[in-house]
């Protein structure tokens, strides 16, 4: 058995797939998870996983999947990794099927597929309404086999604090804390993969699990890792409110025929007063209720806030499934049961009240890729999924690579699994390329001990915090500020003011009271530390939003939005096309955030795959009929 040891932080789909690829190559792996891996946030993905298998004979293909993905993200994503993901997707779905995922099937016994937003094809494989859970359990079963062999060690209820950094700036392992004993240890590794998910709790209430603080990614960012496209935050069109979080009503509900509407007030151009107005179907007759998430969210916002047609005067529209058959209700009963449990109404009999909510981050840690002249991703290249910090990798929602400015529904699970599959061999290739003195076994003990000592000192300082500020209340204020300024509609004056308020919140953090000085199971001390990371990440999101003076995908600034074209198809309006080209010439770039003590340093870097002589797909106007 190899003496090499690797570290994977995060036990969701991306992390577990990375563990599998490392372990099947005979490597030893330590996997760190803040919760038991079966409770990782991937379990919450309900609707399905994309792959152009084309069992329904619609003419779908991996290239069309790639086109929908690049166009859906308004061409902000690097193209070769997206191509690699889309071409690998059918094989990954069949691999998961062989692993025992109980995918839903047609009456002929074939894998069933449903439609999701941003496409006209039935491309989404699903396991009822619990797809993420079934995929996560299947991968965990594979990992358990290697765990039983002694090749994988799980550190559940351990929190990542930072990476071990040597005198050349390379990552040489991780520093983590046992949340039960609050013991802090260093773990040398040949390479480290971050697979810690998104920063949902930076926005307070979101559809994310409460573990998704973004603090691990922020820690890497504060240690020098670049953060790409921080302002690209996805809003999901359909969620229900809760005191603790916003609960997602899966896109599968619309994929199975659910309809979005509001009661008409009878104004000119609308149905008679009191009748349903199916505004998405009217405005987008081809895509109807399955327009991409950014488009759907803005339309709901327009109808509710600008037109004043929210249901019962609330921030709500109807998502109606009452017309669907009992057979369809059975396919999505997991989601319907969630609504009935938390809202006290049966959505099989009455329409659901829903509204957009923060859901996902297209931005994340910047990662590299390597492709050949045909744009094929090179297997075993140490650059795949590599951050700018040597030895530090990222995969899953924590990286920025696959979605551009908007994520298509059901692309999240395939991007996580694909990135995990790519990153394992890349980490091994990196270890092979280094001189032997850079191996984990050769790490001077003083380097690891120094990293441990710095974090122990940090937590001693946190335990001594006795100011007047309640950290949980301050975290709620941070979330309210971020949700108000950085979601569906963005305005520069509010973003400028928001940055000033974030500076005030930073100063107030220094006056926090730790609330609990205990040395075991001290959740308050852990949260105080995470809150600082959330604030620093919030500054990158806010400043990126301020400085990107355009509208693209989930980043919507009305003051800089292109006007509506004069013709049905934008390509038939030369004046509009000239403005679109001018926008792209200036803004078709990656936002790159670099941490400094005085705040994020923002630059806009060329998208490498568009700068080559012939990209896979030339950018074109993004519109949906």
Strands 392-394 and 192-194: parallel
Contact residues for 84 (Cβ-Cβ < 8 A; gap 6+): 371, 376, 377, 418, 422
493-501 long-range Cβ contacts below 8 angstroms, 24+ apart: 495/542, 495/545, 495/546, 496/546, 498/542, 499/539, 499/542, 499/543, 499/546, 499/599
Residue 509 CA: distances (Å) to CA of 181, 310, 505: 25, 37, 6
pLDDT digits (tens, 9 = 90+) for 57-66: 999 999 999 9
66-70 long-range Cβ contacts below 8 angstroms, 24+ apart: 66/616, 66/617, 67/617, 68/118, 68/119, 68/408, 69/402, 69/403, 69/404, 69/408, 69/411, 70/404, 70/616, 70/617
pLDDT digits (tens, 9 = 90+) for 594-604: 999 999 999 99
Q: End-to-end distance of the chain based on CA atoms, in angstroms?
A: 57
Residue 10 CA: distances (Å) to CA of 239, 280, 613: 26, 38, 38
pLDDT at 8 over 60: yes
pLDDT digits (tens, 9 = 90+) for 312-361: 999 999 999 999 999 999 999 999 999 999 999 999 999 999 999 999 99
Residues that are catalytic: 293
Residue 551 contacts residue 557 (beta carbons within 8 Å):
yes
Q: How far apart are CA 273 and CA 319, in angstroms?
A: 19
Q: How far apart are CA 153 and CA 164, in angstroms?
A: 19
Residue 598 contacts residue 583 (beta carbons within 8 Å):
no
pLDDT digits (tens, 9 = 90+) for 64-82: 999 999 999 999 999 999 9
Q: How far apart are CA 611 and CA 290, in angstroms?
A: 32
Answer yes or no: CATH 3.40.1410.10 is held by domain 5-234+360-445.
no
435-452: average pLDDT: 92
Tell which residue, 23, 213, 137, has the closest CA to residue 7.
Answer: 23
Tell which residue, 548, 531, 535, 537, has the closest CA to residue 495.
Answer: 548
Residue 530 CA: distances (Å) to CA of 416, 501, 533, 534: 24, 19, 5, 6
Paired tokens of 605: 């870097």
406-426: average pLDDT: 97
Q: Which of the listed CATH numbers 3.40.109.40, 3.90.700.10, 3.40.50.300, 3.30.360.10 matches domain 236-357? A: 3.90.700.10
pLDDT at 436: 82
pLDDT digits (tens, 9 = 90+) for 456-489: 999 999 999 999 999 999 999 999 999 999 999 9
Q: How many residues does the chain have?
A: 625
CATH 3.90.700.10 in the chain, residue ranges: 236-357
Tell which residue, 267, 351, 341, has the closest CA to residue 317.
Answer: 351
Q: How far apart are CA 609 and CA 617, in angstroms?
A: 10
pLDDT at 2: 56
Residue 114 contacts residue 126 (beta carbons within 8 Å):
yes
Q: How far apart are CA 289 and CA 466, in angstroms?
A: 52
pLDDT at 1: 41
Residue 90 contacts residue 52 (beta carbons within 8 Å):
yes
pLDDT digits (tens, 9 = 90+) for 539-568: 999 999 999 999 999 999 999 999 989 988
pLDDT digits (tens, 9 = 90+) for 288-315: 999 999 999 999 999 999 999 999 999 9
Contact residues for 198 (Cβ-Cβ < 8 A; gap 6+): 41, 208, 212, 214, 360, 361, 364, 397, 398
Paired tokens of 338: 């969630």
Task: Assign 3-class secondary structure to 186-243.
Answer: EEECCCEEECCCCCHHHHCCCCCCCCCCCHHHHHHHHCCCCEECCCCEEEEEEEECCC
Residue 285: strand, helix, or coil: coil
CATH 3.50.50.60 in the chain, residue ranges: 5-234+360-445
pLDDT digits (tens, 9 = 90+) for 234-254: 999 999 998 889 999 999 999
| Kind plus residue range of the DSSP H or E element containing 125 | strand 122-125
Q: Helices 523-547 and 492-509 meet at what angle, rounded to 10?
A: 150
Q: Which of 141-155, 407-421, 609-623 has the lowest mean pLDDT?
A: 609-623
Q: How far apart are CA 313 and CA 449, in angstroms?
A: 59
Q: How far apart are CA 54 and CA 40, in angstroms?
A: 30
Residue 180 contacts residue 68 (beta carbons within 8 Å):
no
pLDDT at 625 over 90: no
Mean of pLDDT over the chain:
96
Q: How far apart are CA 624 and CA 289, in angstroms?
A: 12
What is the percent of the chain where pLDDT is above 90? 93
For the residues of 12-73, what is the DSSP string, one character each?
A: SHHHHHHHHHHHTTT-EEEEEESS-GGGSGGGG--S-EE----TT-S---HHHHHHHHHHHT
pLDDT digits (tens, 9 = 90+) for 76-129: 999 999 999 999 999 999 999 999 999 999 999 999 999 999 999 999 999 998
């Amino acid at each position: 058995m190899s003496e090499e040891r690797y570290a994977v932080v995060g036990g969701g789909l991306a992390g577990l797939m990375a563990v599998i690829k490392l372990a099947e190559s005979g490597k030893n792996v330590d996997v760190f998870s803040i919760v038991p891996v079966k409770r990782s946030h991937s379990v919450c993905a309900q609707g399905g996983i994309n792959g152009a298998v084309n069992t329904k004979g619609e003419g779908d293909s991996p290239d069309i999947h790639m086109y929908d993905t690049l166009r859906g993200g308004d061409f902000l994503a690097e193209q070769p990794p997206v191509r690699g993901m889309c071409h690998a997707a059918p094989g990954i779905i069949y691999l998961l099927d062989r692993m025992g995922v109980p995918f839903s099937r047609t009456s002929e016994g074939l894998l069933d597929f449903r439609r999701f937003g941003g496409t006209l094809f039935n491309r989404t494989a699903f396991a009822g309404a619990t797809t993420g859970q079934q995929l996560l359990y299947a991968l965990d079963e594979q990992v358990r086999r290697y765990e039983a062999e002694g090749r994988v060690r799980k550190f559940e209820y351990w929190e990542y604090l930072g990476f071990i950094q040597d005198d050349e700036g390379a990552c040489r392992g991780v520093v983590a804390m046992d949340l039960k004993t609050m013991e802090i240890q260093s773990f040398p590794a040949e390479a480290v993969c971050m697979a810690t998910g998104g920063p949902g709790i930076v926005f307070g209430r979101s559809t994310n699990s409460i573990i998704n603080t973004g603090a691990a990614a922020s820690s890497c960012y504060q240690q020098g890792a670049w953060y790409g496209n921080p302002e690209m935050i996805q809003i999901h069109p359909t969620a229900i409110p809760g005191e603790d979080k916003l609960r997602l009503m899966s896109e599968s509900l619309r994929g199975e025929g659910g309809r979005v509407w509001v009661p008409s007030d009878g104004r000119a151009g609308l149905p008679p007063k009191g009748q349903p107005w199916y505004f998405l179907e009217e405005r987008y007759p081809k895509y109807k209720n399955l327009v991409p998430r950014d488009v759907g969210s803005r339309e709901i916002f327009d109808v509710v806030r600008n037109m004043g047609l929210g249901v019962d005067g609330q921030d709500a529209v109807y998502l109606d499934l009452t017309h669907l058959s009992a057979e369809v209700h059975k396919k999505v009963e997991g989601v319907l049961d969630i609504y009935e449990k938390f809202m006290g109404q049966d959505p099989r009999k009455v329409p659901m009240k829903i509204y957009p909510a923060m859901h996902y981050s297209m931005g994340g840690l910047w990662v590299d890729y390597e492709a050949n002249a045909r744009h094929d991703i090179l297997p075993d290249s140490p650059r795949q999924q590599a951050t700018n910090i040597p030895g530090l990798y990222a995969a899953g929602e924590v990286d920025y690579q696959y979605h551009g400015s908007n994520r298509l529904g059901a692309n999240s699970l395939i991007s996580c699994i694909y990135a995990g599959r790519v990153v394992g061999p890349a980490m091994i290739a990196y270890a092979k390329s280094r001189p032997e003195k850079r191996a984990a076994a050769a790490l001077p003990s003083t380097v690891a001990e120094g990293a441990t000592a710095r974090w122990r000192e940090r937590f001693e300082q946190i335990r001594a915090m006795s100011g007047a500020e309640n950290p949980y209340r301050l975290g709620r204020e941070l979330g309210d500020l971020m949700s108000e300024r950085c979601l569906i509609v963005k305005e520069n004056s509010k973003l400028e003011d928001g940055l000033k308020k974030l500076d005030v919140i930073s100063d107030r953090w220094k006056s926090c009271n730790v609330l609990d000085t205990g040395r075991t199971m001290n959740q308050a001390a852990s949260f105080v530390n995470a809150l600082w990371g959330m604030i620093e990440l919030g500054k990158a999101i806010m400043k990126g939003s301020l400085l990107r003076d355009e509208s693209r995908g989930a980043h919507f600034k009305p003051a800089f939005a292109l006007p509506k074209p004069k013709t049905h198809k934008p390509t038939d309006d030369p004046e509009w096309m000239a403005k679109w080209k001018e926008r792209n010439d200036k803004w078709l770039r990656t936002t790159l955030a670099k941490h400094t003590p005085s705040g994020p340093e923002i630059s806009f870097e060329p998208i490498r795959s568009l700068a080559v002589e012939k990209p896979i797909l030339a950018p074109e106007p993004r519109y949906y009929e």
